[in-house]
Structure 1
């Protein structure tokens, strides 16, 4: 509830890669950071059902990633690379984290498009 402060604070340290994965998961969930951490800690699995408010930011993020990759591809083809190896590695890690978060969300919502027949073993 807005304006109501809870008494307990929980904190922890993470690596840069873990932070990027957590941030990507939060972004893909569409939740507030605090709510995401509480639910993830209590329930250990977050299933976000696709809705316009959740999906649209993911589409925007994927479009941004696509534009950046196209730009880099053109630069590589023309030998005009404007990104150093460290920045390229950081970009790769950021993209891996975001794509991983999107895949997790889609896997959790798989029941929406798979029929019961497809799920049952033969």
Structure 2
């Protein structure tokens, strides 16, 4: 049993009022807490105002993913030039990079959709 790894835990702090609201929503949903939190985090729309502090970490993450992709490209080009299979990325590395790209791009698209919604609302109100 001690050799088994548990998945990482996600936790956060909330005020008493926020906790009571969350608990009420969980009760009303009829779901287990874990399922409610996972679905809330993945599927709820969050509107984020684009500012330097918000955008810069996204740019850094996308850049890091891009650099990983370039390294894999170099490995494939090197393989075709030198026929050296030792430098090729593993299937797991490719799958992990693909998952990271999909997750990050989905998050960015959702943030942009939220920003578009906010911008449209603000733009409409100023007319």
Does TM-score exceed 0.5, indicating one fold? yes
Runs of 4+ in 1 over 3 A off after TM superposition: 2-9
**1:1-122 maps to which residues of 2 (within 5 A)?**
10-12=33-35, 37=41, 44-79=44-79, 81-111=87-117, 112=119
Structure (1 or 2) with the greater helix fraction: 2
Larger Rg: 2
Residue segments in structure 2 that go unaligned for 5+ positions in a row: 1-12, 24-31
* TM-score of the aligned structures, taking structure 1 as reference length: 0.57
Higher relative contact order, structure no. (Cα contacts within 8 Å, ≥ 6 residues apart): 1
Q: Deviations over 1:35-89 (max 9, x none)?
A: x85xx88xx3211111111111001001101111111111110115342112211
Quick one: distance in 2 between partners of 1:86 and 1:3?
37
Residue segments in structure 1 that go unaligned for 5+ positions in a row: 23-35, 118-122
Alignment: residue pair count: 92
